[in-house]
Amino acid sequence: MSEKKVRIGIIGLGNIGKYHAGYLLEGKVKRCELTAVADPMAPLEPWKAKGLKTYEEGEKLIASGDADAVIVATPHYQHTTLGIAALEAGLHVMVEKPISVHKADAERLIAAAKKRPNLVFGAMFQLRTEPRYVKIKKLIDSGELGRIVRFNWIMTDWFRTEIYYASGGWRATWKGEGGGVLLNQCPHNLDILQWLCGMPSMVRGFCQLGRYHEIEVEDNVTAYMEWPNQAVGAFITSTGEAPGTNRLEIAGTRGKLVLENDRLLFIRNETDMIEFSKTAKAGFARPDIWKVEIPFDNAPAQHATLTQNFVDAILDGTPLIAPGEEGVRSVELANAALYSSLIGQPVQLPLDAAAYERKLQELIANSKFQKKVVQVGDEDFTKSFVR
């Protein structure tokens, strides 16, 4: 008897849609086959020639019966609409990050998935499979780091040129994308932030709109955060800075983790620092430390690993590495940092989703921005994957 295969459709054949199609056609994900693709803009002939069913619109692929599951790889707003349409049609859904543009939309998508618990709903947060973050999570979850007191991520390594923004009419506009660096590049980092440390209870964002590029959305951000247990953090990001930095530092009561330049250092306090401070007999005494370099496999995260996990979840009920509903958290963090900056005040979480949606609608309605679009030749898009 032949083994059951999940028939996968890809909606959106831009940078990442083509990438997903590539590894699926190469057979890198077992027990599934790419059967259909949809895109209103991309040339469909080459896909037809490979034996795939092709559609000029995602909704048509969903209604076709050619797929059991879809990967939604369109601009962000359609993650919600197409994701809901696919779930309502009884298809399993993997949405690209961010799962939606704003929290209210994310909640709509999640509600559609909750109504159909027999369907698998995943989100493409492949960074969760990166060995470096897996190691950090293990150190935190096992208590090695003690209680987290401070989180700092300088993630200014998302450099993008002017032509990048001009390469798609939807990019970096309130109407087409709904945000900038926080919503396009940072969902991965914000997902890792909450995956490692949980959700903060307060965010104060400072977002510069079009600081480095001719765009109307944020491309330079500093966000201060507080957690319910009094831990604090700063998340700093930019698409305009070169060479840029990618440095993650997490301080706990039992030590400090620093991830930078492909090295993970754990400087461990022999004694919990709070205990030490309370019991030390000398004013300038410090806990003894051990410096440990934590090795990790440097191979890049594989989107295919998450897609394999999605297929395994459909066929065997394997737990998802990145369940779709957890995608609301990075959306909420991005929205909160932007909202706080726009209103000039700290924002308490949970974020008022309706208030943020109104603010975004206001930005769309008041936009006078004229988007320049240029045709860009084929570029190696995988260079955009940052760890």
Ligand X SMILES: NC(=O)c1ccc[n+]([C@@H]2O[C@H](COP(=O)([O-])OP(=O)(O)OC[C@H]3O[C@@H](n4cnc5c(N)ncnc54)[C@H](O)[C@@H]3O)[C@@H](O)[C@H]2O)c1
376 binds ligand X (CB under 6 A): no
Give the count of beta carbons closer than 10 Å to the beta carbon of residue 111: 12
Token pair of 176, please?
């087409």
Which residue of the chain is nearest ligand X when measured via CB?
A: 14
Our finding on whether 233 is near ligand X (CB under 6 A) is no
- Residues forming a β-bridge with 150: 232, 251
Q: Cα angle vertex 303, ends 298, 306, to 5°?
A: 105
327 binds ligand X per the rule CB under 6 A: no
Which one of the spans 74-82, 146-154, 198-206, 227-235 is the region binding ligand X (CB under 6 A)?
74-82
Question: x/- string (CB under 6 A) for ligand X, residues 4-43?
Answer: -------xxxxxxx--------------------xxxxx-
Between CA 355 and CA 365, with CA 361 as vertex, the angle to 5 degrees is 145
- The count of other CB atoms within 10 Å of the CB of residue 30 is 12
Q: For Cα atoms 302, 310, 7, give the angle at the middle one, nearest 5 degrees.
A: 110
Q: What is the DSSP letter of 295?
A: P
Shortest Cβ 291–ligand X spacing (Å): 33
* Among 35, 54, 78, 189, contact with ligand X (rule: CB under 6 A): 78
Is position 46 an interface residue for ligand X (rule: CB under 6 A)? no
Measured from the CB atom, is 39 or 68 closer to ligand X? 39
Report the residue from 100, 173, 184, 309 that binds ligand X according to the rule CB under 6 A: 184
Task: Give the nearer residue to ligand X in terms of CB position, either 75 or 146.
Answer: 75
- DSSP 3-state of 183: helix
Determine contact, residues 121/323, Cβ cutoff 8 Å: yes
- Judged by CB under 6 A, which stretch of 72-80, 246-254, 324-332, 363-371 contacts ligand X? 72-80
Report the distance separating Cα 330 and Cα 296, nearest Å: 25
CB of 98 to ligand X, least distance (A): 6
Q: Contact positions toward ligand X, by CB under 6 A?
A: 11-17, 38-42, 57-58, 73-76, 78, 96-97, 124, 126, 168, 184, 385
